[in-house]
Protein backbone atom coordinates (compact mmCIF):
# COMPACT_ATOMS: atom_id res chain seq x y z
CA UNK A 1 0.00 0.00 0.00
CA UNK A 2 1.46 3.30 -1.09
CA UNK A 3 1.61 6.02 1.52
CA UNK A 4 1.03 9.66 0.68
CA UNK A 5 3.61 12.37 1.26
CA UNK A 6 4.28 13.21 4.88
CA UNK A 7 3.33 16.53 6.41
CA UNK A 8 7.00 17.48 6.59
CA UNK A 9 7.50 16.88 2.86
CA UNK A 10 4.40 18.91 2.01
CA UNK A 11 5.53 21.75 4.27
CA UNK A 12 9.03 21.70 2.75
CA UNK A 13 7.63 21.87 -0.78
CA UNK A 14 5.25 24.70 0.10
CA UNK A 15 8.03 26.64 1.84
CA UNK A 16 10.37 26.15 -1.13
CA UNK A 17 7.77 27.27 -3.67
CA UNK A 18 6.84 30.27 -1.52
CA UNK A 19 10.50 31.26 -1.23
CA UNK A 20 10.94 31.08 -5.02
CA UNK A 21 7.68 32.53 -6.30
CA UNK A 22 6.19 34.75 -3.57
CA UNK A 23 8.52 37.70 -4.38
CA UNK A 24 7.57 37.42 -8.06
CA UNK A 25 3.89 37.31 -7.14
CA UNK A 26 4.27 40.44 -5.00
CA UNK A 27 5.87 42.31 -7.91
CA UNK A 28 2.94 41.37 -10.16
CA UNK A 29 0.33 42.31 -7.55
CA UNK A 30 1.88 45.68 -6.69
CA UNK A 31 2.21 46.56 -10.37
CA UNK A 32 -1.57 47.11 -10.19
CA UNK A 33 -1.32 49.31 -7.10
CA UNK A 34 -2.96 52.68 -7.60
CA UNK A 35 -0.70 54.51 -5.14
CA UNK A 36 2.81 55.81 -5.64
CA UNK A 37 4.18 53.93 -2.62
CA UNK A 38 4.96 50.40 -3.71
CA UNK A 39 4.61 48.96 -0.20
CA UNK A 40 1.20 50.48 0.58
CA UNK A 41 -1.83 49.13 -1.27
CA UNK A 42 -4.06 51.96 -2.50
CA UNK A 43 -6.50 50.08 -4.68
CA UNK A 44 -6.44 48.30 -8.02
CA UNK A 45 -5.30 50.38 -10.98
CA UNK A 46 -3.52 50.01 -14.30
CA UNK A 47 -2.20 53.55 -13.98
CA UNK A 48 1.47 52.61 -13.94
CA UNK A 49 1.23 50.63 -17.16
CA UNK A 50 0.06 53.81 -18.83
CA UNK A 51 2.84 55.80 -17.17
CA UNK A 52 5.34 53.19 -18.32
CA UNK A 53 4.72 53.99 -21.98
CA UNK A 54 5.60 57.62 -21.26
CA UNK A 55 8.92 56.72 -19.62
CA UNK A 56 11.29 56.92 -22.56
CA UNK A 57 14.35 56.00 -20.49
CA UNK A 58 12.90 52.66 -19.40
CA UNK A 59 11.53 51.88 -22.87
CA UNK A 60 14.87 52.67 -24.53
CA UNK A 61 16.65 50.43 -22.01
CA UNK A 62 14.11 47.67 -22.68
CA UNK A 63 14.70 47.95 -26.43
CA UNK A 64 18.47 47.73 -25.97
CA UNK A 65 18.09 44.73 -23.68
CA UNK A 66 15.82 42.83 -26.08
CA UNK A 67 18.08 43.49 -29.06
CA UNK A 68 21.10 42.37 -27.06
CA UNK A 69 19.28 39.27 -25.86
CA UNK A 70 18.17 38.15 -29.31
CA UNK A 71 21.51 38.81 -31.02
CA UNK A 72 23.75 37.43 -28.26
CA UNK A 73 21.57 34.33 -27.81
CA UNK A 74 21.62 33.64 -31.55
CA UNK A 75 25.40 34.07 -31.78
CA UNK A 76 26.03 32.07 -28.61
CA UNK A 77 23.78 29.23 -29.77
CA UNK A 78 25.41 29.04 -33.21
CA UNK A 79 28.89 29.00 -31.66
CA UNK A 80 27.71 26.57 -28.99
CA UNK A 81 26.51 24.08 -31.60
CA UNK A 82 29.88 24.22 -33.38
CA UNK A 83 31.81 23.88 -30.11
CA UNK A 84 29.63 20.96 -28.98
CA UNK A 85 30.19 19.16 -32.28
CA UNK A 86 33.95 19.65 -31.93
CA UNK A 87 33.99 18.37 -28.36
CA UNK A 88 31.74 15.35 -28.99
CA UNK A 89 32.98 14.28 -32.43
CA UNK A 90 36.41 15.82 -32.67
CA UNK A 91 38.17 13.06 -30.76
CA UNK A 92 41.44 13.73 -28.99
CA UNK A 93 42.56 16.58 -31.26
CA UNK A 94 45.56 18.68 -30.33
CA UNK A 95 44.61 21.44 -27.92
CA UNK A 96 41.33 19.78 -26.90
CA UNK A 97 42.00 20.25 -23.18
CA UNK A 98 42.77 23.95 -23.62
CA UNK A 99 39.77 24.43 -25.90
CA UNK A 100 37.45 22.71 -23.43
CA UNK A 101 38.83 24.71 -20.49
CA UNK A 102 38.50 28.04 -22.32
CA UNK A 103 34.95 27.14 -23.40
CA UNK A 104 33.76 26.44 -19.87
CA UNK A 105 35.81 29.12 -18.10
CA UNK A 106 33.06 31.80 -18.09
CA UNK A 107 30.81 29.41 -16.15
CA UNK A 108 33.15 29.25 -13.16
CA UNK A 109 34.73 32.71 -13.26
CA UNK A 110 33.09 35.37 -11.07
CA UNK A 111 31.23 37.85 -13.24
CA UNK A 112 33.24 40.73 -11.79
CA UNK A 113 36.49 39.16 -13.02
CA UNK A 114 35.00 38.36 -16.42
CA UNK A 115 33.63 41.88 -16.77
CA UNK A 116 36.92 43.47 -15.75
CA UNK A 117 38.85 41.24 -18.18
CA UNK A 118 36.58 42.22 -21.05
CA UNK A 119 36.86 45.89 -20.10
CA UNK A 120 40.67 45.69 -20.19
CA UNK A 121 40.47 43.92 -23.56
CA UNK A 122 38.22 46.59 -25.06
CA UNK A 123 40.44 49.39 -23.72
CA UNK A 124 43.61 47.71 -25.01
CA UNK A 125 42.01 47.20 -28.44
CA UNK A 126 40.88 50.83 -28.54
CA UNK A 127 37.21 49.90 -28.88
CA UNK A 128 34.63 52.46 -27.83
CA UNK A 129 32.29 50.89 -25.32
CA UNK A 130 28.70 50.69 -26.45
CA UNK A 131 26.14 48.29 -27.88
CA UNK A 132 28.62 46.09 -29.73
CA UNK A 133 30.97 45.63 -26.79
CA UNK A 134 28.04 44.59 -24.59
CA UNK A 135 26.97 42.19 -27.35
CA UNK A 136 30.45 40.64 -27.40
CA UNK A 137 30.46 40.40 -23.61
CA UNK A 138 27.04 38.73 -23.45
CA UNK A 139 27.97 36.30 -26.20
CA UNK A 140 31.09 35.37 -24.26
CA UNK A 141 29.03 34.83 -21.11
CA UNK A 142 26.24 32.75 -22.66
CA UNK A 143 28.27 30.78 -25.20
CA UNK A 144 29.49 28.24 -22.63
CA UNK A 145 25.97 27.54 -21.34
CA UNK A 146 24.69 26.93 -24.86
CA UNK A 147 27.60 24.57 -25.47
CA UNK A 148 26.80 22.49 -22.38
CA UNK A 149 23.13 22.09 -23.33
CA UNK A 150 23.82 21.08 -26.94
CA UNK A 151 26.74 18.84 -25.97
CA UNK A 152 24.55 16.89 -23.54
CA UNK A 153 22.13 16.14 -26.39
CA UNK A 154 24.81 15.25 -28.92
CA UNK A 155 26.38 12.73 -26.55
CA UNK A 156 23.20 10.60 -26.70
CA UNK A 157 22.58 11.18 -30.41
CA UNK A 158 22.58 8.07 -32.60
CA UNK A 159 25.33 8.73 -35.12
CA UNK A 160 24.09 5.90 -37.33
CA UNK A 161 21.30 8.16 -38.57
CA UNK A 162 23.76 10.67 -39.95
CA UNK A 163 25.94 7.92 -41.36
CA UNK A 164 22.91 6.49 -43.19
CA UNK A 165 22.26 9.87 -44.77
CA UNK A 166 25.88 10.05 -45.92
CA UNK A 167 25.60 6.54 -47.38
CA UNK A 168 22.65 7.81 -49.43
CA UNK A 169 24.77 10.56 -50.93
CA UNK A 170 24.56 13.50 -48.53
CA UNK A 171 27.79 15.38 -47.85
CA UNK A 172 28.69 15.51 -44.13
CA UNK A 173 27.54 19.13 -43.73
CA UNK A 174 24.22 18.45 -45.47
CA UNK A 175 23.64 15.31 -43.40
CA UNK A 176 24.18 17.36 -40.27
CA UNK A 177 21.76 20.09 -41.39
CA UNK A 178 19.07 17.71 -42.66
CA UNK A 179 19.28 14.91 -40.08
CA UNK A 180 21.15 15.86 -36.93
CA UNK A 181 20.06 19.46 -36.51
CA UNK A 182 16.29 18.78 -36.72
CA UNK A 183 16.60 15.97 -34.16
CA UNK A 184 18.58 18.06 -31.66
CA UNK A 185 16.42 21.15 -32.35
CA UNK A 186 14.75 21.02 -28.89
CA UNK A 187 18.18 21.18 -27.24
CA UNK A 188 19.21 24.03 -29.55
CA UNK A 189 16.00 25.88 -28.66
CA UNK A 190 16.62 25.30 -24.95
CA UNK A 191 20.17 26.61 -25.35
CA UNK A 192 18.86 29.73 -27.09
CA UNK A 193 16.29 30.39 -24.38
CA UNK A 194 18.87 29.91 -21.63
CA UNK A 195 21.29 32.28 -23.37
CA UNK A 196 18.53 34.84 -23.91
CA UNK A 197 17.49 34.68 -20.25
CA UNK A 198 21.07 35.09 -19.04
CA UNK A 199 21.56 38.11 -21.29
CA UNK A 200 18.26 39.58 -20.12
CA UNK A 201 19.30 39.17 -16.49
CA UNK A 202 22.92 40.34 -16.63
CA UNK A 203 23.90 43.45 -14.73
CA UNK A 204 27.54 43.07 -13.66
CA UNK A 205 29.19 42.35 -17.01
CA UNK A 206 27.04 44.90 -18.86
CA UNK A 207 28.13 47.54 -16.34
CA UNK A 208 31.77 47.01 -17.35
CA UNK A 209 31.18 46.72 -21.10
CA UNK A 210 28.49 49.33 -21.71
CA UNK A 211 28.88 52.92 -22.77
CA UNK A 212 26.71 55.85 -23.91
CA UNK A 213 23.53 54.67 -25.59
CA UNK A 214 23.91 51.08 -24.37
CA UNK A 215 22.18 51.17 -21.00
CA UNK A 216 20.38 47.88 -20.41
CA UNK A 217 17.17 47.47 -18.46
CA UNK A 218 18.84 45.85 -15.39
CA UNK A 219 21.28 48.78 -15.27
CA UNK A 220 18.44 51.29 -15.54
CA UNK A 221 16.38 49.55 -12.86
CA UNK A 222 19.36 49.27 -10.53
CA UNK A 223 20.14 52.97 -10.88
CA UNK A 224 16.52 53.89 -10.11
CA UNK A 225 16.13 51.46 -7.21
CA UNK A 226 18.97 53.16 -5.36
CA UNK A 227 16.83 56.31 -5.30
CA UNK A 228 13.61 54.46 -4.46
CA UNK A 229 11.46 51.85 -6.16
CA UNK A 230 9.01 53.28 -8.68
CA UNK A 231 5.72 51.47 -9.46
CA UNK A 232 6.73 51.67 -13.12
CA UNK A 233 9.51 49.21 -12.35
CA UNK A 234 6.92 46.75 -11.05
CA UNK A 235 4.92 47.23 -14.25
CA UNK A 236 7.81 46.59 -16.63
CA UNK A 237 8.99 43.66 -14.50
CA UNK A 238 5.51 42.13 -14.74
CA UNK A 239 5.54 42.50 -18.52
CA UNK A 240 8.91 40.75 -18.69
CA UNK A 241 7.70 37.97 -16.39
CA UNK A 242 4.67 37.47 -18.60
CA UNK A 243 6.76 37.44 -21.77
CA UNK A 244 9.26 34.92 -20.41
CA UNK A 245 6.50 32.70 -18.99
CA UNK A 246 4.63 32.79 -22.31
CA UNK A 247 7.79 31.89 -24.21
CA UNK A 248 8.48 28.97 -21.87
CA UNK A 249 4.92 27.65 -22.23
CA UNK A 250 4.97 27.96 -26.02
CA UNK A 251 8.34 26.20 -26.19
CA UNK A 252 7.10 23.38 -23.95
CA UNK A 253 3.92 22.93 -25.99
CA UNK A 254 5.95 22.81 -29.21
CA UNK A 255 8.28 20.23 -27.65
CA UNK A 256 5.35 18.06 -26.53
CA UNK A 257 3.73 18.31 -29.96
CA UNK A 258 6.97 17.33 -31.63
CA UNK A 259 7.36 14.38 -29.27
CA UNK A 260 3.81 13.17 -30.07
CA UNK A 261 4.45 13.42 -33.81
CA UNK A 262 7.77 11.57 -33.48
CA UNK A 263 6.15 8.91 -31.27
Print pLDDT tens along the chain (263 aa). Answer: 456 677 888 888 989 989 988 888 888 888 888 877 777 777 888 888 888 888 888 888 888 898 999 999 999 999 999 999 888 887 777 888 888 888 888 888 888 999 899 999 999 988 888 899 999 999 999 999 999 999 988 888 777 777 787 777 778 778 887 888 888 888 898 899 899 989 988 889 998 988 877 888 888 888 877 766 778 888 888 888 888 788 778 877 877 887 777 66
Q: Is residue 88 in some structural domain?
A: yes
Confidence (pLDDT) at 80: 92
Q: Is residue 13 in some structural domain?
A: no
Q: Is residue 27 in some structural domain?
A: no
CA 143, distance to chain mean position in Å, is: 11
Q: Is residue 22 in some structural domain?
A: no
Q: Is residue 19 in some structural domain?
A: no
| DSSP string covering the chain | -PPPPPHHHHHHHHHHHHHHHHHHHHHHHHTTBSSS-TTS---B--HHHHHHTT-HHHHHHHHHHHHHHHHHHHHHHHHHHHHHHHHHHS-S-TTHHHHHHHHHHHHHS-HHHHHHHHHHHHHHTTPPPSHHHHHHHHHHHHHHHHHHHHHHHHHT--HHHHHHHHHTT--HHHHIIIIIHHHTHHHHHHHHHHHHHHHHH--HHHHHH--TT---HHHHHHHHHTT---HHHHHHHHHHHHHHHHHHHHHHHHHHHHHHHH-
The domain that contains 218 carries what CATH number? 1.10.3720.10
**Structural domain range at position 64:** 55-262
Q: Is residue 139 in some structural domain?
A: yes
Domain count of the fold of the chain = 1
What's this model's pTM, rounded to 2 decimal places? 0.82
Q: Is residue 34 in some structural domain?
A: no
Instruction: Give CA–CA dist 6/222, Å, rounded.
Output: 42
Q: Is residue 185 in some structural domain?
A: yes
Confidence (pLDDT) at 61: 87
Amino acid sequence: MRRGPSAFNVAAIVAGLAFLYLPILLVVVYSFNGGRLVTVWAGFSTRWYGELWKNEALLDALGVTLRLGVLSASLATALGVLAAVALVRGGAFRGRTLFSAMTYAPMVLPEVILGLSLLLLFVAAGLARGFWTVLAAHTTLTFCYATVVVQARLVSFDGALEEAAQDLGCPPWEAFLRVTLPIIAPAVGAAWMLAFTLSLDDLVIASFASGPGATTLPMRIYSQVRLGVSPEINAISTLLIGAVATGAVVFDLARRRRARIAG
